[in-house]
Amino acid sequence: MRNLMIAAVAVTLTLAGSLDAQAPNRAAVEKQIMANEQTINEAVAKRDLAAFQKLVARDGWSIDPSGVMAVTEFEKNINEVKVEPGWKIDSSKILWVNDNVAIHSYRWTGKGSFMGMPFKSPTYSSTTWANRGGTWLAVFH
């Protein structure tokens, strides 16, 4: 009987521990990621570095036709971004890598340039999002 009680307590503790490590509500996180992507794009269009930094990891990277760039390097050049009003994001899809990493792919349409080089439109983009300590940050674009 004592062994049965010990086993029951062990199972209860195991279940309680697994409840703390529950998988995220993926639908809610996907909605948050898509809203955050919009917010980042708005921040870039307005050259709002503070808003950009709230959602993008400082150790992040991006790749585009001009090459590889660290987030910190992009931040130094954010004033070189020119985006005309009327841009939009659509065709969003989220691919889950695991409970803490998701990739958001989408189509961006609009007009603008970076360092004098015009943006291609439409542009098909993807951003890798990582849950870092409960905060979803863009880590790669």
Instruction: Verify cis geometry, omega within 30 degrees of 0, for the bond prior to 118.
Output: no
- Confidence bin at 76 (pLDDT 50/70/90): very high
Alpha-helix residue ranges (DSSP H) falling in 21-119? 26-46, 49-55, 71-76
Q: Which amino acid is at 86?
A: G
Closest CA to 140 of 107, 116, 105: 105
Structure confidence at residue 21 (pLDDT)? 56
How far apart CA 33 and CA 26 sit, in angstroms, is: 10
124 and 54 Cβ atoms separated by less than 8 Å: no
pLDDT the model gives residue 39: 98
Helix, strand, or coil (residue 100): coil
Total-model pTM: 0.81
42-72 residue pLDDT tens: 999 999 999 999 999 999 999 987 789 999 9
Q: Does domain 25-140 have CATH number 3.10.450.50?
A: yes
Judged against a pLDDT cut of 70, whether residue 128 lies above it is answered with yes
Of the ranges 3-12, 15-24, 83-92, the best mean pLDDT one:
83-92
Give the model confidence (pLDDT) of 87-127 as tens digits: 999 999 999 999 999 999 999 999 999 988 999 999 999 99
> For 119, which DSSP code?
P
Contact assessment for residue 111 and residue 101, using Cβ atoms and an 8 Å cutoff? no
By C-alpha distance, which of 59, 57, 31, 42 is closest to 108? 42
